[in-house]
Amino acid sequence: MRFTVAIDGPAAAGKGTIGRRVAQRFGFAHLDTGLLYRAVGAKVLAGAEPEAAARALTPEDLSGPGLRTPEVAQAASRVAAVPQVRAALVDFQRDFARAEGGAVLDGRDIGTVICPGAEVKLFVTASAECRAERRLAELVAAGHDIGFETVLEDVKARDARDTGRNDAPLVAANDALVLDTTTLDVEQAVAQAIAAVEAKLR
């Protein structure tokens, strides 16, 4: 069976958490496409040229423990505005999406550019302050010495860059179900996402 769930939305909205849970529930594969851009961003911070770094990406590059920092997130958002970088990553994402057995992909342009024909599209969002609080809690739990204002700045700067770029800007697809998680806990958001998939599988 081929079945694609596309999850898009701004930074730290809960895309990955919902994506993982939906994938678990239905036995689908899950790809956090932000990791692709973070891995390219990390290579550029280390001196690589953006397009070359994107073309040379390997699965091992995606498991680096240092990819979750705000510095790498900013570098990811800068390389993500380069059309040649995005183009180099398209085939891998589309192949993943159409693999036998179902797939969930989360990012910024999955429902609009990568998989416009996805069976289910979700746009997950929340207020910037709420998203920054959640991301701060994750970073502190992972041992980072960082404050709320720094995280909020990262979130807002990336939202502005991701929404404002010409190539594959962050925007909800016309046919996406919008999930505003500002007042939803994880279980409530996951339940709504699962219901949307079930409705299409029936």
- Contact between 139 and ligand CDP (CB under 6 A)? no
Kindly identify the residues of this chain, within the stretch 43-102, that bind ligand CDP according to CB under 6 A: 73, 76-77, 80
Kindly identify the residues of this chain, within the stretch 21-40, that bind ligand CDP according to CB under 6 A: 33-34, 37-38
- Contact between 11 and ligand CDP (CB under 6 A)? yes
- What amino acid is encoded at 107 in this protein? G
> Which residue number, 4 or 17, has a Cβ lying nearer to ligand CDP?
17
- Contact between 111 and ligand CDP (CB under 6 A)? no
> Residues at the annotated binding site for ATP?
9-17
Contact positions vs ligand CDP (CB under 6 A): 9, 11-17, 33-34, 37-38, 73, 76-77, 80, 106-110, 134-135, 138, 158, 162, 181, 184-186, 189
